[in-house]
Chains A and B, each alone.
Chain A
Amino acid sequence: MNLMPVWISLQLAAVTVVVLLVVGTPLAWWLAVSKSRLQMVVDALVALPLVLPSTVLGFYMLMLLGPQGPIGGPWFEVTGTTLTFSFAGLVVTSVVYSLPFVVQPLRDAFRSVGAAPMEAAAVLGARPLDAFITVACPLAGRGFLTASVLGFAHTLGEFGAVLMVGGSIPGETRVVAIAIYEHVERLEYGSAHLLSAGLLAFSFFVLLTVYAINRRTRPGAGR
């Protein structure tokens, strides 16, 4: 059996989580501390992938990332490649649909850290960014763990949007979820079983690890 889809899925999930942590951390902090009305709007936008069918996301991503789209167009000009039906396009799509799974746990973790430790750092002479990196982020450590694992696991599990944006190019965009679908279509139940059971077991143990760590860490100890 071809294990390439497993490798593609793991790569996609890992890259997506890294991008989401970079983008999502400042966004989550802003959502946690902002008192502006805009915060509600952004909160709702971030949560959208939780409720939309993945075909809706996939459709709009296709529009955005296509060679004539507002993102895909300039991308083609610069790189000479298309975002649709490419690994890069899958990363962009995954970042969007896994956004709430990373941003929401981070936002809640920053909220529970609260303003008090940041104030303490400020009166000790720490600049805001310094205090954020050395105090708020370590104290929100469990939130980072939860966010990474949920983001990773959810990216592994996505099907619809990935299929619409990436298609099923072996070695490029054919991820596990799509490989399973194709195995079933071709009545190759043995391979479908193997990949499905693998994904199921992997997801279960990842979630179990998160809950175990969350349980062991005392609230407030933060690591």
Chain B
Amino acid sequence: MSEPLLQFDLQLTRGDFSLSAKGEVAAGITALFGHSGCGKTTLLRCLAGLEPQVRGEIRQGEAVWLSAQKRLPAHQRRASMVFQDNRLFAHLTTAQNLDYALKRRRGDGPSRDEVIAVLGLENLLERLPSQLSGGEVQRVALARAVLCGPSLLLMDEPLAALDYGRRRQIMPLIRAIPERFGLPVLYVTHARYEVLDLADQVMLMEDGRLMTTGSVAGVFSSPECWQKLGGLDPMVVWDGTVVAHDTGWGLTTIATEAGPLRFAGLRPRRGERRRVRIAARDVVLMLNPPPTSSLINGLPVKVEHFEQHGGVTRVKLIAGEGAPLWAEISQQAVAALGVKKGQRMHALISPQVLGVDS
């Protein structure tokens, strides 16, 4: 089961803030990324039906949530929300919080037992929210949001209040939601690593406007977006699939758009999607095929163009089977290598595997 695309085109003015956002939430996890105060939470609240002043359109397949003629109240939309401050009902136990959602279910949804098992809530059912830790509270909030039978799950910085360790525990649970429960997720965050580790698509928001929308790999690999992403160092992101695992050497092969890359120390499942990131400063350019080294990933590359950028030279390369790759090297290296357009070289790279172990 998978829910149809959610389409929205919204305008809201409040004081000197104005929101004007048009976009789509497709299957998988869509990250809504931007600085604090740019309107991410407001957009989420508009979709949920919590902002009565908003004008425009929201539709999901046949269902119209908002139009010039119609304004569906929050409780009739099948949009469920996990708030930054969790908002569990303080007077109800975990079990009662879950049952509250279950009783008011608006559509098909997973069973109570399944959700409790997936989110590991078995031992928390009789506790009040005040007796739960921060991470437990967000797991219960997540379970409650899934149980009310939504067709869209909105998440407003659900990890912001948690420490690093607890975030890493909850991220795989969030990552699993679209597939496990057939739910599209719109996920607000201002943390880049959450976008890279969790999301399939990303929307960049600035001053109440959606600037860019696209696949995470596409947006993070695009030089125009590095600045919008908060001054990102040059990099490319490739989406890959685990194709082989050599138990003898402990090496995993991930097929990417540039060709196969090998990694040590992963515990992957075959067919699993993994994303890799290659920072421009982790790319070493060589004229000849590299001699033996501890870096195990090398690719043939072709220079597409290069330009000076604040004391260093950024070289845009076409790697392996046609994937763009950036290298950041010194001017001295440019001269020593005799870099020129169209030149064929070899690149040694040190890619980083992203994502969360599920």
CB of B105 within 8 A of chain A? yes
Closest chain B CB from A136 CB (angstroms): 10
Contact B106 A123 (CB under 8 A): no
Give every chain B residue within 8 A of A222 (Cβ-Cβ): 90-91
Complex: chain B residue closest to A119, CB-CB:
B50
CB of B79 within 8 A of chain A? yes
Bound: A119/B91 CA distance, A? 16
Give every chain A residue within 8 A of B88 (Cβ-Cβ): 120
Contact B148 A124 (CB under 8 A): yes
Pick from A117, A123, A131: contact of B79, CB below 8 A.
A123
Closest chain B CB from A215 CB (angstroms): 17
Give every chain A residue within 8 A of B79 (Cβ-Cβ): 123
CB of B220 within 8 A of chain A? no
Q: A116-B87, A221-B130 in contact; A125/B104 too (CB < 8 A)? A: yes
Contact B89 A122 (CB under 8 A): no
Complex: chain A residue closest to B92, CB-CB:
A138
Give every chain A residue within 8 A of B353 (Cβ-Cβ): none
Give every chain B residue within 8 A of A120 (Cβ-Cβ): 81, 83, 87-89
* CB under 8 Å from chain B, chain A span 130-173: 130-131, 134-135, 138-139, 141
Contact A123 B91 (CB under 8 A): no
Bound: A120/B89 CA distance, A? 9
Pick from A122, A124, A221: contact of B90, CB below 8 A.
A221
Q: Place the interface of chain A in its size category.
A: 20 to 34
Q: A125-B75, A138-B91, A141-B91 in contact; A218/B83 too (CB < 8 A)? A: no
Bound: A126/B104 CA distance, A? 6
Bound: A117/B86 CA distance, A? 10
Q: Which of A124, A218, A220 has the most CB of B within 10 A?
A: A124
Closest chain B CB from A110 CB (angstroms): 14
Pick from A116, A125, A220, A221: contact of B83, CB below 8 A.
A116
Q: Which of B74, B101, B130 has the most CB of A within 10 A?
A: B74
CB of A127 within 8 A of chain B? yes
Pick from B50, B85, B104, B154: contact of A124, CB below 8 A.
B104
CB of B252 within 8 A of chain A? no
CB of B73 within 8 A of chain A? yes
Contact A123 B85 (CB under 8 A): no
Give every chain A residue within 8 A of B87 (Cβ-Cβ): 116-117, 119-120
Contact A125 B106 (CB under 8 A): yes
Produce 1/0 per residue, A102-125, CB < 8 A to B: 000000000000001101111111
Contact B48 A139 (CB under 8 A): no
Contact B148 A125 (CB under 8 A): yes
Contact B130 A123 (CB under 8 A): no
19 contacts between A and B (CB under 8 A): A116-B83, A119-B50, A120-B81, A120-B87, A121-B75, A121-B100, A122-B50, A123-B50, A123-B80, A123-B81, A125-B104, A125-B106, A125-B149, A131-B75, A134-B100, A135-B89, A139-B89, A220-B130, A221-B90
Question: Which residues of A come within 8 Å of B, CB atoms?
Answer: 116-117, 119-128, 130-131, 134-135, 138-139, 141, 218, 220-223
Question: Which residues of B come within 8 Å of A, CB atoms?
Answer: 48-50, 73-75, 79-81, 83, 85, 87-91, 100-101, 104-106, 128, 130, 144-145, 148-149, 154
